[in-house]
Every structure is written in structure tokens, then in C-alpha cells.
Amino acid sequence: MKLKIDGKDYSFIFGVKFLRNLDKNRGVEGERNGMKMNFGMGLTVLMPALMTKDASALADTLYAAAKDNVTQDQIDNYIDNCKDLNGLFSRVINEIKASNTAKPVVKNLKA
């Protein structure tokens, strides 16, 4: 997926790296025996937020999927000024659903 942000085309890929980034930033965390642990599940946590049109979830999604060096601030500003936010949500959700690596997680969420 490509988006033009600040006049430059940026690529977003919803593959394994995207899932790892989500697990780091939005994963389920817990503590056991005084040791903090991240259990992953970032996409599982994120999808309901995207479905309910949570703009911060959309920003985190795009940042995690960014192939190029785009900053969180650039993405936030892009979303803040997006004229078709519903269309952007739909586009991102459809890209995730079509991703070979994310498809099984999304399918299991519907079960």
C-alpha cells in the first residue's frame, strides 16, 4: 500500500515485520515472578480498535507497517488532515485482511 505524505510516496507492508512491530508496541504485557513479559497478540488487540475507527490505532498500524522512514508525527498529521478517513480505515483493514501473515489472525477473530 502507498500513501502520499508531505508530498512523498511512502510504502506500507502488512507482513511479518508489521506483526513484530505491533507485538512490541501494542502486545499484551504481563508480569511473572517480578519479570515483565510481552505475549505478543498485537494484531488481536489492534483489530477491534480499527474496526471501531480508533484514529490512534490507525496511526499505530501505519507506523508499524511503514517500510520507509516516515515519522509518527507525519502519520499523525496525515490522519488529522485526511479528507476521507473512513476510506483510509477501510483501505488499511482490507490490506491487513489480504496479508498472507495477518489473514489467519483476522479470520480467527471472526470465529
- pLDDT tens string, the chain, 111 residues long: the values are 999 999 999 999 999 999 989 888 765 566 777 776 555 577 888 899 999 999 999 999 999 999 989 999 999 999 999 999 999 999 999 999 999 989 888 887 764
Predicted TM-score (pTM) of the model is: 0.83
2 DSSP β-pair partners: 11
DSSP sequence for the chain: -EEEETTEEEEB--SHHHHHHHHHHH--EEEETTEEEE---HHHHHHHHHHTT-HHHHHHHHHHHB-S---HHHHHHHHHT-S-HHHHHHHHHHHHHH-TTTHHHHHHHH-
DSSP-derived pairing of the beta strands 29-32 and 35-38? antiparallel
Instruction: Domain ranges for the chain, please list them.
Output: 2-109
